[in-house]
Structure 1
Amino acid sequence: MKLEIGNFFVKEVCFGDKTFYANGVLTINKQEALDVVMEDEHITEADLVLAKPGDPVRIVPVKEAIEPRCKVSGGLMFPGVTNDLSLAGSGRTHALKGSCVLVVGKHWGGFQDGLIDMSGPGAKHTIYSKLNNICLVADTDEEFERYEQQKKNHALRWAGMRLAEYIGKCVADQEPEEIQTYELPPITKRSPEVQSLPGVVYVLQLQSQMEEEGYNALVYGWDTNHMVPTFMHPNELLDGAIISGSFMPCSSKISTYEHVNNPTIKKLYSEHGKTINFLGVILSNLNVNLVEKNRSAIFVRQLASSLGAEGAIVAEEGYGNPDADFIQCIVELENAGIKVVGITNECTGRDGKSQPLVALSEKANAIVSTGNVSELIELPPMPKIIGELESLARDGFSGGWEGCLKEDGSLIMENNAMFCSDGIVGFSVKTVVEY
């Protein structure tokens, strides 16, 4: 399977008479873009607001992030979701690098939503402060979930995907500034030199704890609560086979933007044929019941063993109850003789002294921590707000509470509410200091 990503590097975004890209400048016809957004009758009002790195801007409630892209050959964007079902991971996809569609609620937030600061001390916590963001700020008539702590945000998230594809199509006929090629031949048809290297798999555990459909991550449009661990080609992930869900404290979430730009997959690709034989991806899920956790762990072990894996990276989207899935998966792989490195955040309390994971094992002895979800973050007032700042304290954010917002606009919140700040797939901006 061969995938080409044709990159166009966006340095500036502005509005104009037509949507086009030239010389590092992405120009968007605002009315045309909003017409695409308003195709869903459930969206009652919408606007597009631009936010660039360094702007004195705070964005909240942020629900999703999507890179503007278009398929040029070999498939469709968002297969099985906004477009017909087709295989992802081959042909050519064009991407407007350095830009991002942020889906933002005009008023209402929830448990799974987050905050982004484009400047000041909060900007260091998230990669999105470094991007040219096209903020879709909208409201819907989905009254049935307006006052629910957890929201599916269906109309807004789907509008974000349509908008990202609309913008991405402006470079469909242009020659990319850079082409990145991702190609892995079938496992049994690799050269003896590659076959002699240690086989490594990447195990990605997607958030899928909600039994009701509409909240969990999607794979080709399929709710991951209904899946068992599945072997996938890494190109499928880099080409949009996975859509982020609308459940999980926000710092732990993997956005759709992050799925298609997964740094761990790209690093494994760069080492393929040099230090490792990159076998592919085992896509797993995170469950509620113990028997389901054990079943998924056994499936992962069987797949990894059958592939001949000697090493594995296991990444967990979430914390708390899913820690049991994470540790059990590591234990099963280690019991099969496969060396494992885990990637997860931790919940050590606001003082940092609590047990980091709900479940632990001596066999989980190589874990990369991407930070403490309960860390308190204090932020000064910001001159401009995109969305509604009051939602942080009012609407049940996992990192906000009544009283966290001060009259002058300054606030204190848990890292939980910082949008995708823990970067589980490898985007974490945090490091460890030894004292």
Structure 2
Amino acid sequence: MKLTLANFYVKEICFGAKTELKDGVLTVNKEEALAVVREDTHITEAELHIVKPGDMVRLVPVKEAIEPRYRVGGGPVFPGVTGELMQAGNGTTHALKDMSVLVVGKHYGGFQDGLIDMGGEGAKYTFYSQLKNLVLVANSDEEFEHHEQQKKNRALRWAGMRLAEYLGACTKDMQPDDTDVYELEPLTKRSKAVNDLPSVVMVLQPQSQMEELGYNDLNYGWDCNHMVPTFMHPNEVLDGAMISGSFMPCSSKWSTYDFQNFPMIRRLYEEHGKTLNFLGVIMSNLNVALEQKERAAIFVAQMAKSLGADSAVVAEEGYGNPDADFTACLVALEEAGIKTVGLSNECTGRDGASQPLVSMNEKEDAIVSCGNVSSLIELPAMPVVLGELESLSRDGLSGGWGNDEKLGPSVRPDGSIIMENNAMFCGDRVVGWSTKTMVEF
């Protein structure tokens, strides 16, 4: 499979009469774009805003981030989700770089939603403050979800994907600024020079704990809760086969943008044929019952061994209950003779007394920490809020609270906030990029 990502760099976003990209300026016809959003009659309110790095703007509750794209030759950007099923990861796809579509609730948030500050102290905590963003602030008539802590957010998430496809299509007849080409030789057809290098497989554990459909990550539109570990070409992940779900404490979450740009996959590609032999991706899952977790670990280890992997990198989306899947996978791989590194965040509790991973084993001797979800973040009031600030404390966002005996409410009367890192949108960057550094004590 050969994937060419044709890159169009966006220097500025503005509203205007015609949706087009010219000299790095993306002009958006707001009424046309909103008409695309409102194709779903469940959308009751919708508005578009433009934010850029350094703007003193706070966004909450943020539900999703998507990179605008266009599939050359036709077909949906997200096969099995926004259109018919087709193979992803082959051919040419246009991508609008240095920007994203952000989906924000006009009122109601939930456990899986988060916060982004585009400027000030809070901007350092999330990658998305570094992008130019077209922000969809919307509400839906899915009233049964309004006061539920767990929300599927289907209408808003799908509206974001349609909007991303609409924007990407403006590049249809254009030549890109540059291209990235991703191609791996079939496993049995690789040269001796490549096969003599240490072989590495990437194991991904996307969110799939919810047995009720509609909350989990999707693989070609298939709910990952119904999946067993599956070997995938990395190009499929980079080209729209994987869609973010709507259940996961927000700093741990992988947005659709994260899947589209997965830095660890790209880094393994960079080293392929030089320092390592990149075998591909084992797409695993996160389960609830212990037997399911053990079964998945057995599948992963067998698959990696059969592929001839010398080593593996395992990344989990989440923490707590998923730690048992994560650590079981690390142990199973190590027991199969495969040197394994894990990527995960930690959860120590606000008092620091909880163990960072709920399951530990002496074979788990190489884990990269991507941050502590329980770290407290205190931020001043922001002049502009897109969405509804009160949702942080009212709607059960994973890092916010109504009142704490010692800390008081997450949202103070003057608009300043105190919250756990948990609520920072995709803040722990387990996918491989991070604004954080390690400090030695």
- TM-score, with length taken from structure 1: 0.99
Structure 1 residues not aligned, in runs of 5+: none
- Give the distance between the partners of 1:313 and 1:73, measured in 2 at CA: 34
2:435 match: 429
1:331 match: 331
> How far off is 1:198 after superposition?
1.1
Structure 2 residues not aligned, in runs of 5+: 403-408
Structure 1 SS opposite 2:72: strand
Structure 1 SS opposite 2:8: strand
Mapping of residues 345-424 of structure 1, within 5 Å: 345-402=345-402, 403-424=409-430
> How far off is 1:355 after superposition?
1.0
Contact 2:379–2:418 (CA under 8 A) maintained in structure 1: yes
Q: Is 1:65–2:71 an aligned residue pair?
A: no
- Give the distance between the partners of 1:405 and 1:77, measured in 2 at CA: 38
- Give the distance between the partners of 2:436 and 2:75, measured in 1 at CA: 36
- Give the distance between the partners of 1:359 and 1:70, measured in 2 at CA: 42
2:221 match: 221
1:273 match: 273
Structure 1 counterpart of 2:91, which letter? G
Deviation string 1:142-168 (CA, Å, 9 cap, x unpaired) is 011111001000000000000000000
Deviation string 1:147-192 (CA, Å, 9 cap, x unpaired) is 1001000000000000000000001110000110000010000111
2:259 match: 259
- Give the distance between the partners of 1:310 and 1:386, measured in 2 at CA: 48
Contact 2:75–2:84 (CA under 8 A) maintained in structure 1: no
> How far off is 1:76 after superposition?
2.9
- Give the distance between the partners of 2:368 and 2:375, measured in 1 at CA: 17
1:52 match: 52
Contact 1:34–1:47 (CA under 8 A) maintained in structure 2: yes
Deviation string 1:257-296 (CA, Å, 9 cap, x unpaired) is 0001000000000000011100000000000000000000
Greater mean deviation of Cα atoms: 424-433 or 270-279: 424-433
- Give the distance between the partners of 1:199 and 1:419, measured in 2 at CA: 33
Identity %: 69
Structure 2 counterpart of 1:13, which letter? I
Structure 2 counterpart of 1:48, which letter? L
> How far off is 1:132 after superposition?
0.6
- Give the distance between the partners of 1:189 and 1:10, measured in 2 at CA: 39
- Give the distance between the partners of 2:268 and 2:98, measured in 1 at CA: 22
> How far off is 1:74 after superposition?
7.4
> How far off is 1:353 after superposition?
4.2
- Give the distance between the partners of 1:191 and 1:130, measured in 2 at CA: 40
Mapping of residues 290-305 of structure 1, within 5 Å: 290-305=290-305
> How far off is 1:349 after superposition?
1.8
Contact 2:279–2:307 (CA under 8 A) maintained in structure 1: yes
1:117 match: 117
List structure 1 segments (4+ residues) > 4 angstroms apart after TM superposition: none
2:406 match: none
Contact 2:75–2:83 (CA under 8 A) maintained in structure 1: no
> How far off is 1:322 after superposition?
0.5
Q: 1:212 to 1:236 in 2, by over 3 A?
A: same
> How far off is 1:354 after superposition?
2.7
- Give the distance between the partners of 2:217 and 2:362, measured in 1 at CA: 30
- Give the distance between the partners of 1:332 and 1:434, measured in 2 at CA: 30
Contact 1:114–1:418 (CA under 8 A) maintained in structure 2: yes
Structure 2 counterpart of 1:201, which letter? V
RMSD of Structure 2 on Structure 1 (CA): 0.8
